[in-house]
Structure 1
């Protein structure tokens, strides 16, 4: 009888422990963001990404990553291209206490207005965003400005071309934004300062050797 009780107690204990584990797993899943951009502390594992320092860009089929960098490998601009659409990415330092996208969005709207382009605010899948049509050397171009506030950082994403107006066309570029990872680092930085972006070491070494090639994840 004693042995039987111990076995029964052990069984209950095992079930209780397993139930606790399941609840903990569910709590972790519920607390994790359903979509990115992710902070590096919350990023899902098992995803192939191009590491540019403060930004890690997921590999998505048929999306080309184009970067503009100085001779030291410091990146000035990151643009993802899919067909006739593009997505320009930037990441900036933000305060610990609050986001800055509301402020930045209004400044973008005023800047566009001064340049003769009207921008309309709309509620998008990432929250408030700006839609505008601007004149470029290639003609009129549609832009959609999206901002995502994270822990001490903000990602600014600008959809260009058809992806700015047609969600179906934006699919692969939106997948890149949803899977984006931000590595803010621990250093103190002025609010709105661009976070450092650098070419992967192997790309820099190839450039120094005079070997040109695309940047790939």
Structure 2
């Protein structure tokens, strides 16, 4: 599966095209509600158009906000998809400058401003994770904690102590489930109990 990315923080870009001003603002968004809130917060009621798009996995929406159908929201979504982004919302605001751009001009202006904004934004790869609980004895605990703590993408989120040892709550990249299970089994000579929430 191809790598997917999201934005690290809010980013913006601006262009002037035939006297119309275009400003794009993009940000990571956790879900549809967050995307809607971001769009509402960054739409300028004084502007002629506030066009937008967002994507979360297979779910996406876009809006032309009064521009001819397909000339604004769809090109913004294409800019998101063109950079393999997910969990992202983008608003492109236009202040009309008096010169009509035509359909092709609008598509290039909205898509281009969104793409410029997204290209300049900091990105981080999205890694699908799985959660596990690892029950181990006090004798194995330090060795397991140190080795897990040294692995990229593995986090010990919580630990609870029992009479004989501890139960660790761990998250790790889904791609590493099998190798991580073997590592813990080898470290503890099979004494640790591992349960993945797949």
Same structural fold, with TM-score higher than 0.5 when normalized by the shorter chain:
no
Q: Which has the higher contact order (CA 8 A, sep 6+)?
A: 1
Q: TM-score, normalised by structure 2?
A: 0.32
Q: Which has the larger radius of gyration?
A: 2
More strand by share: 2
